[in-house]
Amino acid sequence: MGKAKTQPFKKEFAFGNEQLVQFFITEERQQDSQDIIAKYPDRVPVVAERYTKSDLPEMEKKKFLVPRDMSVGQFIHILSGRLHLAPGKALFVFVKNTLPQTSSLIESVYDSYKDDDGFLYMCYSSEKTFGCHHLS
């Protein structure tokens, strides 16, 4: 029996009037996330990208394996360090048009908002501007 063909899967990241369109191969992304979770069951796969209108720099690394028991606030602190933000510079993360509470555990955010491909998509900005969400 032949191998099933994978079809490109279009995902849009919208933030305000901007849209970042990326093409993924769904089955491969699903397999990637399943492999990651099987190998690291205490972590979740997260993709964090900069809001295009943000004055913040792009991070070289966009994929993270985040401990399930880490709070959103702790993850924001890690992102702030990676971005070399000045002390006191605000950083916000958005997941599907929501601003998760900093006290929320990543596991809870992942369970509520993970994409069909098994990844949790976040975007970061220095402003609390709603509208960043991941459309399937």
In a domain, 2, yes or no: no
In a domain, 118, yes or no: yes
Q: Structurally, how many domains does the chain consist of?
A: 1
User: Residue 27's domain is classified under what CATH number?
Assistant: 3.10.20.90
What pLDDT score was predicted for residue 77?
94
Stretch 39-68: mean pLDDT, rounded? 91
Sign of the Cα torsion 12, 75, 44, 99 reads negative
Q: Taking 90 as the threshold, does the pLDDT of residue 131 lie above it?
A: no
In a domain, 37, yes or no: yes
In a domain, 83, yes or no: yes
In a domain, 3, yes or no: no
Domain range for 52 is 8-135
In a domain, 1, yes or no: no
pLDDT, one tens digit per residue, over 3-48 is 444 344 444 444 443 343 345 566 778 889 999 999 999 999 999 9
Q: Which of 42, 47, 49 is nearest to 68 (CA)?
A: 42
Q: Could you tell me if 94 and 122 are in contact, meaning their C-beta atoms sit under 8 angstroms apart?
A: yes
Top-confidence residue, 66 or 14: 66
Average pLDDT over the chain reads: 81
Q: Taking 70 as the threshold, does the pLDDT of residue 135 lie above it?
A: no
Taking the model in full, what pTM does it have? 0.76
pLDDT, one tens digit per residue, over 103-128 is 999 999 999 999 989 999 999 998 87
Q: Could you tell me if 68 and 110 are in contact, meaning their C-beta atoms sit under 8 angstroms apart?
A: yes
